[in-house]
Amino acid sequence: MWFESGSTHAFTLEERHLPWPADLYLEGSDQHRGWFHSSLLESVGTRGRAPFKAVLTHGFVLDEQGRKMSKSLGNVIAPQQVWDKFGSDILRLWVMMSDTAEDLRIGPEILKQQAELYRRLRNTLRWVLGSLDGFTEAERLPDAEMPELERWVLHGLAELDARLRTSVRTYDWTGVYPALHAFCAIDLSAFYFDIRKDTLYCDRPDSLRRRAARTVLDHLHRCLVTWLAPVLVFTAEEAWVARFGEAVSVHLQEFPEIPSRWQDEALALRWANIRERRRAITGAAEIARRNGGIGSSLEMKVSLGMPPERRLLDAAEWAEIAIVSEVAFTDGGPEVAIERASGRKCARCWRVLPEVGEDSKHRRLCRRCIDAVESGLVCRA
């Protein structure tokens, strides 16, 4: 029996006009002394070399308590049961979110967690698709003209691309899809999307900032959908077809080529500092909401006590990043102080600004929103 299994390379590859030796032998860790070993002995004895270029072994599937599955314990999770309840994409996601070199645990609670991870990934794709409605090549903005925030996102894509391509070469996918999920949930949904909603909804459609955001969203869509396609097979196809139609499947696309210029470690470090300070602002804003009777962050004015060399951004940029109506710098005092912004609420962007009411024609709008309305251009996202 072991000789027959060990000689399978001779009739599964060359008989079907496939390259020999195989790129990869994949099996469980119990086959180190079984199929892998017999294949090696048989091939070296008859051909003088191994029948494979690489070997990848995986652990066994256990229940949530780490016990071996058995019918007597009633802890068997059949793949068909998972497909029927959650869909096959969830099952694939569970595999890729696990360390397959170790034994894998599965059960109802673990699958519920995977379903929640899937929901976040799907919501990211939905938000990107909705924000890209009507995007054309005429709207695309060159990388060099983009604001720092957009170039920071491109750096994140470059980092993920390098990690995925390394995994393709080494067959080691441990941690790759958790990193992709963290990018979607933390870097995009909780940070970049949160900030750029205002730009997408309220800026003039031809503004540089809005064009930059939509260009980056185009890159995000193409990268995320093709990167997720090997795992979220049906979801990725749905997200691709929703934008490009059914003429070409996402599963016929290669991973996008990422320009080396997107990699910018100095920019990444700078924005790590900015995000750390933003967390201090949002933490103070939460306290102000609880104790000060201030509702939305757009009702707030933030004073930042920091000298010029530590400010990193100007006041308008900090207001944008912190999603508040106004930011002012002070040379002393507390690092973050929050008070109610002065002025009236713009009916379009909801910022509280002294300028609202100045224009006799548009008394409920701020200057930016007046410009957007009078431009005659229509936002599609």
pLDDT tens profile 178-200: 999 999 999 999 999 999 999 99
Interacting residues of 326 by C-beta distance below 8 A, sequence separation 6+: 300, 301, 302, 315, 319, 341, 352, 353
- Which pLDDT does position 184 carry in this prediction? 97
- Banded model confidence at residue 380, pLDDT cuts 50, 70, 90: low
Average pLDDT for 254-268: 97
Q: What is the mean pLDDT of residues 304-313?
A: 91
What mean pLDDT do residues 28-54 have? Answer: 85
Q: How many whole angstroms separate alpha carbon 319 and alpha carbon 313?
A: 10
| The total number of residues written for the chain in this structure | 381
pLDDT the model gives residue 147? 97
46 C-beta neighbours (distance < 10 Å), count? 11
Q: Which residues of 123-150 are buried (b: 16+ CB within 10 A; e: fewer)?
A: ebbebbbebbeebeeebebeeeebbebb
| Range 326-349 average pLDDT | 93
Answer whether residue 379 shows pLDDT above 90: no
If you average pLDDT over residues 101-130, what whole number do you get?
A: 92
Check residue 1 and give its pLDDT: 52
Please give the mean pLDDT across all residues of the chain.
91
Give the mean model confidence (pLDDT) for residues 283-310: 90
Long-range contacts of 210-214 (CB under 8 A, 24+ apart): 210/379, 211/139, 211/140, 211/141, 212/141, 212/145, 212/146, 212/147, 212/150, 213/131, 213/150, 214/131, 214/132, 214/135, 214/139, 214/381
Q: pLDDT band for position 40 (50/70/90)?
A: confident
- Per DSSP, the three-state class of 337 is strand
